[in-house]
Amino acid sequence: MSTSNGALPRIVVTGLGAVTPLGLDVESTWQGLLAGKRVVDRITKFDATDFLTQIGAEITDFDFGPYEEWLSPKEARRSDPNMLYAVAATAQAMEHAAIRVQSNEEGDRYGNIFGTGIGGLQTIYDSHLTLIEKGPRRVSPFTATNMLPNMASGLVGIAFNLRAISYALVSACATGSHVIGECYEVLRRGDADLMIAGGTEAPFTPFGMAAFHRTTAMTQRNDDPGHASRPFDRDRDGFVISEGSAVLVMETLDHAQARGATILAEVIGYGATTDAHHVSTPPEGGEGAARAMKQALRKAGLDPTQIDYINAHGTSTPINDREETAAIKAAFGEVAYDIPVSSTKSMSGHLLGAAGTLEAVAVVKSLLEQRIHGTLNLENPDLENGCDLDYVADGPRDIPLTYVMSNSFGFGGHNASVIFKRWEG
């Protein structure tokens, strides 16, 4: 669908939702980021004594009760946690955007893409234990549906009557930004008027932790969890696993204005590339990530000097932080030293498939408030490995923001970069 003058439609953000270890809604999550809140602690959801990594950023006080309008208690009890987080964050975002689907005809133009890195891992783990201990006849009939990566998308569509395009996107830790970018493309080509762009993850099981800690990419700073996530710091030793969901309501500008929506920000550029190099290690110099950033800039029609802030992937792993820094320099040249760069994961931990959508929520809040959060625990920048940019180690900073970039990179060599613009309409 084109606008009346033949141009592609502009795409705006009109609602936000979040369920994270920092808070069970957007505002508490955002205030936690600004305050440098430390939520990483000893894992409580299972006994992690024998694990190399015994810490994480858990959600410990989530109650689905406020969202039972959208999913009955019976349905909630048999749903995987990643699905419940998704429904809750979507309900918040829909309310924030003042959207409630009144008819099937309306729902025919509303869709969703919900990403996850893993899917229903709790269901997979619990059902496998049941199979081993009690046999195949005792495995729940809901296992097959709950374990699927697409089921958060499916359940969100059912709960909110979103009848347009709907599917799951899985690209490891790049998933959330890919979701936003693909919703942007769906809306621009006219397949929907409004899209829910969401990410969700619930990885805290013994199997999930064992798998990730065997990659040696996770921190082992078990004796000091509050300082474990330390992107770009010379003493970083790996990422902190986290969980939760974050959602953006995206729609065409014409649709948003026609219904009198409050517009929060505009999405103006999206870049997506693949390293084609290694299953877990980026190429030296971050070449693939740099191409994604350059592509996003080109599609947005921007010069590198126009980007006011970069929300980094910033995982706190030795290799990622080094190569992401190199990629930013490759994409921006000398301008890179003038752009503030900070990592949401220094506080939230790594939400895997939901990381990109959470960081996009933070970016939109930054544009609204003209304020960026800092990078927690950055005490000694890793200058020896080239980590010498402005990582906002001094905490939140008030600066003029018009154009902001958010980056996500994932195992498999997946790269995504999204550019948001301050709404000035």
Is 173 one of the catalytic residues?
yes
Catalytic residue at 227? no
Q: Provide the residue type at 358 as one letter.
A: L
Check 96, 173, 183, 387 and give the catalytic one.
Answer: 173
Residue of 96, 178, 213, 350 marked catalytic: 350
User: What contacts 24+ positions apart, CB below 8 Å, involve 61-67?
Assistant: 61/24, 62/19, 62/24, 62/88, 64/88, 67/91
- Alpha-carbon distance of 417 to 168, in angstroms, equals 19
| Helix/strand/coil for 23 | strand
Q: Which one of 213, 255, 313, 414 is the catalytic residue?
A: 313
Decide if 96 contacts 249 (C-beta within 8 A). yes
Helix (H) or strand (E) holding 390: none
* 6-25: b (≥16 Cβ within 10 Å) or e: eeebbbbbbbbbbbbbbbbb
For 224, residues 6+ apart whose C-beta sits below 8 A from its C-beta are none
Cβ neighbourhood burial of 224 (10 Å; 0-12, 13-18, 19+): exposed
The set of residues, in sequence order, having a beta carbon less than 8 Å from that of 83 and lying 6+ positions away, is 120, 146, 151, 152, 155, 200
313 classed as catalytic: yes
Residues with a known catalytic role: 173, 313, 350
